[in-house]
Structure 1
Amino acid sequence: MEPHRGAHVGGQPERIPLPDVTTPEPSEHHATSRRHAAAKRASGAGSLLRETVIILVSAIVLSLLVKTFLVQAFFIPSQSMHDTLIEHDRILVSKLTPGPFDLRRGDIVVFKDPGGWLPSDVAPDPGALQGAINSALTFIGLYPADANEHLVKRLIGLPGDHVAADPGGPVTVNGVALDEPYLAAGVTPSDIAFDITVPANSIWVMGDNRSHSSDSRYNQGNPGGGSVPVANVVGMAFVTVWPIERFGLLRNPTSTFADVPDQP
């Protein structure tokens, strides 16, 4: 006998089993979500901390490399270089000169006291803000711990140069009188007489504010006869960076020394 059309074979409808899906309790689901979120936050905080430490260490290492081989900051405490540099200026000094690059007449150089140039009370109180800045720069290596043992002057004579002046007259280098446009307004090139041949491996330096500068002229009785050993030169100042309104490059006045021969 044929089954009725539309009837199920075997007389019973076929049952298809359904998967057993267990829905978590709302409280369990929320707790799991909170744990996952907390884990992500902890992971993010740890990653941020690691990145911060890496950045700080890299910055310190980079600053030490820069300070050691390239650039160092110095603070101007006196008026000896008016009007080129004034009190509280902050300058950057290239340590590539002397070194890969030669010193030139007219360069503004920073050098360590050869001995007896600076009085024992040379260091003024920089103030709370400046002191904090100096401490921070010293910590990262951009400001020397012995900054108060350095001076900044303009290089006038190279090794072997004959440098001379009479009171009120021009400074001469190897017989050529200098026209010095960088001098402070109203000052004479020199108010004392001097006549010297710069020793080997030394330089002759003078401040731009000649009447307020304890430079080579006033240290002829000290070792070296007023000349500064090249070994004492930290580098060449190339830019004023602070205060911001004083920002500017410190250019070499090449025209002043253009006619000076290399030999006397």
Structure 2
Amino acid sequence: MRITERLTKPAIAALASLLLLAPAAHAEEVLVAVAANFTDAMRDIAREFEKETGHKAVVSFASTGKLYAQIENGAPFEVFLAADSQRPEKAEAEGLAVPGSRFTYAKGKLALWSPTQGLFTGGEEFLKTGTFSHVAIANPKTAPYGLAARQALIHMSLWNTLSPWLVHGDTIAQTFQFVASGNAELGFVALSQLKALPDKTGSSWEIPESYYEPITQQAVLLKKGETNPAARAFIDFLKGGTAQDITVSYGYGVE
């Protein structure tokens, strides 16, 4: 009798279980730098990524500008999700990213928001009244959503008028908190942040995309992640249907 014929049914079941668990033994971690506006969507994506692949995404959130400065200074990030296309392009040009790995994972949208119900119905008209003390925006120098807010205000011929009333957050996440906490009556936030609110009350205006340059959010595989299978798996997952569905559910566009 051959050895394989001596295996009992319980032994075969145990062997099958070991084989099913084998891929988990090769699970890896990937260090991901993510623009602050994508926080809520990324938490859902990271959870689904781990369930589907067994790999774990360890995520850090900050403004795109700050994350890129960290990457330039040797931070161990392996994948970079920016809120613009300029920094991923620069990462490729400076040899910090794997050539050809850059792609658009989301298209951001800007909104004016206040948690106060009925504060305004027409956002542009309300801004022109000046009947408020503070308006929050992200720092236009480091946060792409802040740059978009500045462009929108220039389009409305309000940048110079409202500059004294502007409160600058380091990131779009901090900007949102300024408004949510009442430190500013209203502010320019990512539409995705409003989609994530459990309570949809308040006043909001989705700013026409013609008021600002497209917020093309690109991702890139960094050189530090080139040989990490989890990093490459994360890039592939981000391009797939599950991640794209989550992205759209948070108010972003996808290609």
TM-score, length-normalised on structure 1?
0.25
- Greater relative contact order (CA < 8 Å, ≥ 6 in sequence): 2
TM-score, length-normalised on structure 2?
0.26
Max Rg structure: 1
Structure with the larger helix share: 2
